[in-house]
């Protein structure tokens, strides 16, 4: 996604394309970080007079928000998975808010990208398509193969449910009929 966004930003700068770029609406975000970024985006939209600058600022804001929200989401999910969270209920609520805000950023990025494609002159469409293809191939060539390490750990409580409730519901079973390994209590 990052490489595609840079193609969009670079093309917008190079060709002076001015797609529509309404400011982010804080009401569309649940978390404080998302709302704060959206308020700042809205405030700056009044200062940035050109549509081109508003578009570039919105793309940059979405990039920063996704990076920040993604980092927070991963940290919270890791704490929940490892069972190290001091307040799992609060952590689940944070994960839920971050997920909602990440989804909102995705929807905003789709709208921005569609606006960019509509504003892109037809004569530049093939060049843009080739640039995206080339960058995607370069990115895929540098991706390391991910090895998933499976290790034994305690089962994480599902939001609103404790491990003991899960154990009472299906003693000796983890989820979907998978038996717990011998010596492991659920």
16 and 105, same structural domain? yes
Q: If we measure between CA atoms, which residue out of 99, 75, 98 comes closest to residue 85?
A: 75
167 and 139, same structural domain? no
158 and 130, same structural domain? no
| Average pLDDT score over residue span 83-96 | 90
In a domain, 11, yes or no: yes
185 and 123, same structural domain? no
| Average pLDDT score over residue span 75-81 | 89
In a domain, 18, yes or no: yes
Which of 76-80, 104-108, 148-152 ranks highest by mean pLDDT?
104-108
* pLDDT at 101 (0 to 100): 95
The more confidently predicted of residues 17 and 131 is 131
C-alpha distances (whole Å) from 72 to each of 15, 29, 159 are 36, 15, 18
96 and 169, same structural domain? no
Instruction: Write down the pTM of the prediction.
Output: 0.64
Mean of the per-residue pLDDT values of the chain: 75
* pLDDT at 57 (0 to 100): 86
Lowest mean pLDDT among 23-32, 50-59, 77-86, 100-109: 50-59
Domain residues for 136? 2-143
175 and 111, same structural domain? no
The structural domain count of the chain equals 2
In a domain, 148, yes or no: no
pLDDT of 182 higher than 60: no
117 and 180, same structural domain? no
C-alpha distances (whole Å) from 31 to each of 34, 102, 104, 179 are 5, 10, 11, 38
* pLDDT at 143 (0 to 100): 65
163 and 116, same structural domain? no
pLDDT of 131 higher than 70: yes
pLDDT of 161 higher than 80: no
* pLDDT at 159 (0 to 100): 55
105 and 168, same structural domain? no
89 and 52, same structural domain? yes
């Amino acid at each position: 996604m990052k490489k595609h966004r840079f193609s969009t930003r670079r093309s917008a700068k190079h060709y002076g394309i001015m797609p529509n770029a309404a400011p982010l609406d804080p009401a569309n975000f649940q978390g404080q970080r998302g709302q704060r970024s959206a308020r700042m985006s809205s405030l700056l939209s009044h200062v940035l007079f050109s549509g081109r600058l508003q578009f570039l600022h919105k793309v940059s804001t979405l990039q920063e928000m996704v990076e920040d929200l993604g980092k927070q989401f991963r940290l919270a999910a890791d704490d929940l998975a490892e069972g190290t969270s001091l307040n799992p209920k609060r952590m689940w609520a944070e994960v839920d808010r971050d997920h909602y805000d990440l989804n909102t950023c995705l929807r905003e990025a789709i709208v921005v990208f569609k606006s960019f494609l509509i504003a892109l002159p037809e004569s530049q469409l093939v060049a843009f398509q080739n640039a995206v293809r080339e960058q995607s191939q370069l990115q895929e060539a540098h991706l390391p193969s991910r090895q998933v390490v499976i290790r034994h750990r305690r089962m994480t409580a599902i939001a609103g449910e404790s491990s003991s409730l899960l154990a009472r519901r299906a003693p000796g079973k983890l989820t979907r009929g998978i038996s717990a390994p011998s010596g492991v209590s659920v």
